Structure formats: C-alpha cells, structure tokens
Amino acid sequence: MKTRIKELRARHNLTQEDLAKKSGVRRETIVFLEKGKYNPSLKLAHDISRILKSKIEDVFIFEEEKAQ
C-alpha cells in the first residue's frame, strides 16, 4: 500500500509527531504508514484523512494484488 501522508502532512505544516498526537498514535506508526509498511485500521485511516482534510482514497492508495 502506498500513501500520500508525507506530502499532505507537509501541505498542512505538520510534523510526524504533530500528526501522531492528533490521531492518537505513536510517531513510529506514522513513520511506518509513510513507508507503506503498516496497514492502518479503518478508524485510523479515517482519522488521518480527516486531519489532512482529504478523502481516504486520496491519502491511501491500495494496490490490488495480482493473481499468480
């Protein structure tokens, strides 16, 4: 999964720590989300999207797995 969190966070002048505090998670969670190494819960995805004033699908880009 890819995200646009870093880009959108910069637009809103938020640090990783700021976003973490506003969304109720640790800064490390934001780091993992930005790197695409963590899939958020629906609630967390909603909260982050709301904070960044964007739609969930504009923040989180879910890539479909290819059938093998």
**Is position 8 within any domain?**
yes
| Containing structural domain, residue 16 | 2-61
Residue labelled with tokens 């958020």: 40
- Asked whether residue 19 is domain-assigned, the answer is yes
The pLDDT value recorded for residue 48 is 98
CATH of the domain at 25: 1.10.260.40
Would you state the structure tokens that stand for residue 42, as one six-digit string?
């629906």
DSSP states of the chain as a string?
Answer: -EE-HHHHHHHTT--HHHHHHHHTS-HHHHHHHHTT--PPPHHHHHHHHHHTTS-HHHHEEPPPPPP-
Share of the chain above pLDDT 90, in %: 85
Q: Is the pTM of this model over 0.75?
A: yes
Q: What pLDDT shows up at residue 67?
A: 55
Instruction: Decide if 66 is inside a domain.
Output: no
> What is the reported pLDDT for 63?
75
Q: What is the mean pLDDT of the chain?
A: 93
Domain assignment present for 67:
no
Total domain count, the chain: 1
What lies within 8 Å, CB to CB, of 7 at 6+ separation is none
